[in-house]
Chains A and B, each alone.
Chain A
Amino acid sequence: MSQTMQAAPSSDVSSAIDTPMLEIKGLLKQFGGLKAVKDFDLSIHQGELVGLIGPNGAGKTTVFNLITGIYVPTAGSIKYCNDSIAGLPPHEITQKGIARTFQNIRLFPNLTVLDNVRIAYHPHAGYGLFDAILHTGKYFQLEKELTERAQEFLAVFSLHDRQGEIAKNLPYGEQRRLEIARALAATPELLLLDEPAAGMNPGEVASLMDLIHFIREKFKLTILLIEHQMRVVMGICEWITVMDFGEVISRGDPEEIQNDPRVIEAYLGRGAAALSQRLREKRSDVA
């Protein structure tokens, strides 16, 4: 196995600790008259595990799409390791080190599990059309290495015995796992997970949380997570940004977020904050 993680950006070590890995300032995305995302700021440092939550339609996936280049920002800046990435085409952003999963699983449905992962290696396959069409020795060599790497990778996710299965035939939980595996095969430094726990039962959710911890350790990842299941968010995120109607309404660690009235109101409606406050007071009275 020849490839290691891709080279870190040129900033020296000391500033790398201070410089955020991902820095978003004043992000605005407008669709016609609708401001889907406005005044959005976010700073993530290397190694952090950060959550992005908010009610449905708050603009979370839009932020992901903006970071990964599927949408072009109307205004604002997005910097990855001090390089501006706003407006770059998605495949270039991925090649810089950002990978993502999707809210509704986007595997390559008719391809095998193995191929889904092997595709992630395409930008770094090492051989071009010439070798491919002529099936030169170089092709055989690199293809073999690539395939072995993919198989070992699948083994890490306990999917290696499914390598020949067609992706769309996998059970839901395995599809989710494969999507994460595929994203990781692209050797990112920053991983964006869009509602990875969607549709999972509590047992699967617990496994997922372990998986996220595991991959963060093993692959030295920085992770930004959108999730609705509060168990996951509060359980693994170091700190959380809360969005509503396209804007940031709160930021802090899980404890702070849970008690922030603005967050409670965003999810439960106006008056909910006051109600929960009264309930808490009542509980402490009784205690």
Chain B
Amino acid sequence: MESTQLTFSQKIIQGKWIGKALLIFIALFTVWFIGSKAVLSPALFGQQVVNGIQLGFVYALIALGYTMVYGIVRLINFAHGDVFMVGAFTSYFAISFFQLHEWPAWIFPTISPWLTLLIGIITVMLITMSVCSLLAVVIERIAYKPLRNAPRISALITAIGVSFFLEYFGALPFVFTPNFITYKRPFPIVTWYIKDGIHRLEAGSAPPEGSVLFSNILIIIVLSSVILMALLQYIVRKTKIGKAMRAVAYDKPTARLMGINVDGIITTTFALGAALAGAAGILYATAYSQVFFVMGLIPGMKSFVAAVLGGIGSIPGAFLGALIMGQAEVLSAGYISTPMRDAIAFTILILVLLIRPTGIFGEPEREKA
């Protein structure tokens, strides 16, 4: 049946307005929902924002690894979240069993405790990041490299297998144990509250009504993340290796013809991503003080969603996406309920895929006929 449509209806169809109306409706609803809660209690809202920033930065470090690896080999590295877990555990062992964060004091007994702590923690971080990098390199060489020319599903399933293996191997009693372990922070928490200016909160006392709290953990997380991301940005933008990484991500065969050691660059990318994930592991454990063998699962998935949200393959996109995801998670946990935050996270994912699958900063991929 050939019906003659009105031009008005045709315009609606052409402009995809029905779909857009749905999205606008969802957006307005979200804004109204958050806004009304924020207005009711600005301090609570402020607190969520602060918490969201803290979480977002940790997710950013993980998301970077996902986005870089996908950008270069088109693989969703399911095992990345478990590298994060290994990082957390490594630092746990380093601190709790070996007291490595205190090594400067062993050698230079007269050194000031602050300096000891600083150097010690940086050392632990470096060790953890190295362990994670090494782990990623081993995984890449054994499991991923042989399948580089195989259909993508094989590599994906292998990644899943590696992920499972790391988790359950870690769950074995002589490795990480299946228990939830409380992480011992190598330094005391110092809290401040914001109300008419920033004030130090005395230990044991309650914060005044309507104040927003933050601790030195937030500062450490933000500082470390910013430094690491700045380093990464420097490597990617200003060094030869970084240029090679970008070249391989853009056009692998040509990069090879240009004399770039493609295999080495790919391994390097994995290593860099894993280092960041390891750092994220330490920061996460410090902030949320529990380590357990599947701790990488959900944060890993959410960081992956963050990478997709920002545009998978794009480094600034991963950062932005992670901040958004962190914020969304904290807000939904606070305003709706804790279990719903996971559902919200993946609803965001689906919405992103419906609206703009390539993400905020992503570039569309076209197949040539």
Contacts and interface: CB of A to CB of B under 8 A. Distances in A.
A and B touch in the complex (CB under 8 A): yes
B142 interface: no
A255 B228 CA distance: 67
**Binding site secondary structure of chain B:** loop
A70 B369 CA distance: 8
Nearest to A68: B369
A65 B369 CA distance: 7
Interface residues of A, number: 5
A102 interface: yes
Interface in B337-369: 369
Interface string B21-32: 000000000000
B213 to A, nearest CB: 48
Contacts of B369: 61, 64-65, 70, 102
Nearest to A90: B369
A102 B369 CA distance: 8
Nearest to B366: A31
A102 B367 CA distance: 14
A64 B369 CA distance: 10
B11 to A, nearest CB: 15
Contacts of A70: 369
Nearest to A31: B366
A61 B369 CA distance: 8
A42 B264 CA distance: 51
A64 B368 CA distance: 12
Interface string A47-66: 00000000000000100110
A110 B143 CA distance: 27
Contacts of A64: 369
A63 B369 CA distance: 11
A266 B369 CA distance: 24
B132 to A, nearest CB: 39
A65 B366 CA distance: 13
A200 B369 CA distance: 21
Interface string A72-102: 0000000000000000000000000000001
A97 B172 CA distance: 65
B121 to A, nearest CB: 48
A69 to B, nearest CB: 11
B358 to A, nearest CB: 14
Interface in A23-67: 61, 64-65
A86 B369 CA distance: 17
Interface in A180-229: none
Contacts of A61: 369
A23 to B, nearest CB: 22
Contacts of A102: 369
A84 to B, nearest CB: 14
Nearest to B367: A70
A230 to B, nearest CB: 24
A88 B369 CA distance: 17
A65 B367 CA distance: 12
Nearest to A194: B369
A65 B368 CA distance: 10
B210 to A, nearest CB: 51
A70 B366 CA distance: 11
A151 B133 CA distance: 59
B160 to A, nearest CB: 25
B151 to A, nearest CB: 12
B271 to A, nearest CB: 35
Nearest to B368: A61
Nearest to A100: B369
B153 to A, nearest CB: 15
A172 to B, nearest CB: 20
Contacts of A65: 369
A109 B139 CA distance: 33
A71 to B, nearest CB: 8
B365 to A, nearest CB: 13
B302 to A, nearest CB: 33
B284 to A, nearest CB: 40
B116 to A, nearest CB: 56
A29 B356 CA distance: 22
Interface of A: 61, 64-65, 70, 102
5 contacts: A61-B369, A64-B369, A65-B369, A70-B369, A102-B369
User: Which 3 A-B pairs have CB atoms at the shortest separation, nearest pair first?
Assistant: A65-B369, A70-B369, A61-B369
